[in-house]
Amino acid sequence: MLPRTGTNTASIDVRTALEPNDFPAVPSIIGDISALSKVLKANDRNSRLQVLEKARELVRALETPRETMIKHTWAQNTAFTAISFGVDTGLWKQWVENGSNVPQKVSSLAAQLRLDPAVLGRFLKHISAMGYIIETGPDEYKLTNFTKSLSLPIIADSYPLCLWSINNALANLHGYLRETDFAEPTSATDGNYQHAHHIKADVFTHFQENPPNGPRFNNLMSGYRQGRPSWMDKDFFPVEEKMIDGFDPSGDGVLLVDIGGNVGHDLDEFRRKFPDHPGKLVLQDLERVINQIEHLDEGIVRMPHDFFTENPIKGARAYYLHTVLHDWPDDLCVKILSRVSEAMKPGYSKLLINEQVIPARNAHWEATCLDILMMSLLSSKERTEAEWRNLVEVQTGANLRIVRFWSVGNGVENLIEIEKVL
């Protein structure tokens, strides 16, 4: 039992836990959904997300506290485990190979995968109860778009990776914070993740040293980036005006350096969206990551590089960091930014940081959940606008200045434009 933290004995009636969370709000929410449905289009991301958020709001209002508790502590955890079981055993790939639109018997799938049909049946029954597959008969199910997508590594690999690494760390977080008097974690090598897994390595080294989790992480990052607004789109950041216009082809002639760019997802997107771009595109990451690249256009230069060391590309038009700095506490971010600043040419080079910028109010759950994960895994954080200004312009002390925070208004995709001043 946890120790009592105070002497207040005030309590509420248990019936509160059995009543809807906000029943009076239900008619209004339904009205909002009805109004939004009139302009809803499948290919309109904004209208779809508006209705989706209202639908979540409706569920929260109708659920009782007791139902919400059971959903959080039992239903979602076990669904996560059941889905991961399907990934690890090859269930979802086999199902799609059998026919993605064809109902499948538990007995047939179990025979193909050499599984106990009783075990598989119990997992599938819960996955069906959670709405992720459709029950078409006794011990017979049909895939949904979600479970069809679990045949894709960029969607599927997140499940066993997170079950192994992230969930252990989250379960350990409260005890770790209690041991540190609830201080905000700041050590990249002696934080909660290291205590949870009894290791000294950082998270990424731990992934790479425990196959197949290195490639699984690469797939997770690829899946995370799918379908999100891209700073390369015309309604987001003016690439031609800010990068291509004024490009100087002399010297190394480098247009864009993706620092810590994993296996090149972003540079490949840039190449496709700007096929006539001038200059070179350079991908930088640790050698062990570069060596994992299976498919990348030969026109993209691959360069092993540790971003804590001097950057060999000097005076490029733009240097780019995508979800890199949120992986590190401030002191190490300062080292990364200082190395980039050393390579930048004042008045010409730009630093582009593609990260979350947490608003002062109405933060989005995709940003806030990542913030908790960063604290648990990396002793780092998702930063507010004020924290970004402090980190870039004050702590780094390398003559860097934020020009503008660019966003499409969805709260989770932002580009921070930075220049170096004399």
Distance CA 127, CA 148 (A): 13
Closest listed residue to residue 378, CA positions, set 195, 224, 189: 189
Distance CA 363, CA 247 (A): 37
Cα 58 off chain centre by:
25
C-beta separation of 209 from 201 below 8 A: yes
Question: How far, CA to CA in Å, does 158 sit from each of 2, 213, 219?
Answer: 33, 10, 7
Phi, psi dihedrals of residue 130, rounded to the nearest 5° = -85, -5
The tokens describing 96, both together, are 């799609």
Question: How far, CA to CA in Å, does 185 sit from each of 140, 335, 360?
Answer: 48, 18, 22
Distance CA 87, CA 166 (A): 17
Report the side by side order of strands in the sheet with 280-285: 300-304, 280-285, 254-259, 318-322, 350-355, 414-420, 400-407
Residue with tokens 């201080």: 183
Which one of 195, 206, 326, 364 is the catalytic residue? 326
Distance CA 218, CA 158 (A): 9
Start-to-end CA distance of the chain, whole Å, equals: 59
Distance CA 262, CA 9 (A): 53
126 is catalytic: no
Q: How many CB atoms lie within 10 A of CB 69?
A: 12
| Helix axes 106-113 and 117-129, enclosed angle (nearest 10) | 130
Distance CA 176, CA 164 (A): 18
C-beta separation of 127 from 63 below 8 A: no
- Annotated active-site positions, please? 326
